[in-house]
Amino acid sequence: MSYTLPELPYDPAALEPHYSAAIVELHHDKHHAAYVAGANATVDKLAAARDGDDFGSIVGLEKTLAFNVSGHVLHSVFWKNMSPDGGGSPDGELAAAVEESFGSADKLRAQLGQATTTVQGSGWGVLAWEPLAGRLVVEQVYDHQGNVGNGAVPLLAIDAWEHAYYLQYKNVRADWVKAFWQIVNWDDVAQRFAAARMLRLA
Ligand code: MN
């Protein structure tokens, strides 16, 4: 039942020079791990609140749960969205859906890149499958859980928190986004897309 930190699908140095081993290790072993621990701690606190019939802290606990679980979800997607053999553009059915929803892969990169670069404060740029309309959408996510329409499934997540790039790219978040396109794993995105398309909300 509890949340666990997934292992990295590659060696921490595998994404260099685009993403440094030092960031990958710190980011995974400390930052992602903290969201996993936070999610588990909050689940325990909610259980204790139920046991004690004391929901006085429910507002804070539910917010903390959303923050930590969403952080765990997005980082879990993020690691697999990158590969030492990444880059290029989507193909197959994902390419067709990208074209239908955005016009072209370049337009997707432009919109998602801009959404990631311009997040105010901490957040993410996310490509998601929106199952009601049956289309791909870009989300500009605040923290890990804000500014998101319910029901959309994240397929591709670019971390725009300073901890994700500052050691290597300093204040130039746009350079981190440019580097991300060199290591993006479109095969992983395509697998997530195929699974998400089966979801029916209505
Ligand atoms: Mn992060």
DSSP 143-194: TTTBT--TT-EEEEEEE-SGGGTHHHHTT-HHHHHHHHHHHB-HHHHHHHHH
* Cα torsion 196, 148, 27, 111: sign: positive
| 187: nearest Cα among 111, 74, 88, 113 | 88
CATH numbers and ranges of domains, the chain = 21-80 (1.10.287.990), 92-196 (3.55.40.20)
What parts of the chain have a pLDDT lower than 50?
Answer: none
Give the model's pLDDT for residue 35. Answer: 98
Ligand 1 centre from 158 Cα, in Å?
A: 9
Give the model's pLDDT for residue 106. Answer: 98
* Cα torsion 163, 167, 172, 178: sign: negative
Ligand 1 centre from 53 Cα, in Å?
A: 35
- Chain segment 24-56, per-residue pLDDT in tens: 999 999 999 999 999 999 999 999 999 999 999
Ligand 1 centre from 164 Cα, in Å?
A: 5
Contact 116, 179 (CB under 8 A): no
Ligand 1 centre from 12 Cα, in Å?
A: 15
Give the global pTM: 0.97
Ligand 1 centre from 161 Cα, in Å?
A: 6
Give the model's pLDDT for residue 202. Answer: 87
Give the model's pLDDT for residue 129. Answer: 98
Ligand 1 centre from 80 Cα, in Å?
A: 13
Give the model's pLDDT for residue 21. Answer: 98
Residue with tokens 């994240």: 154
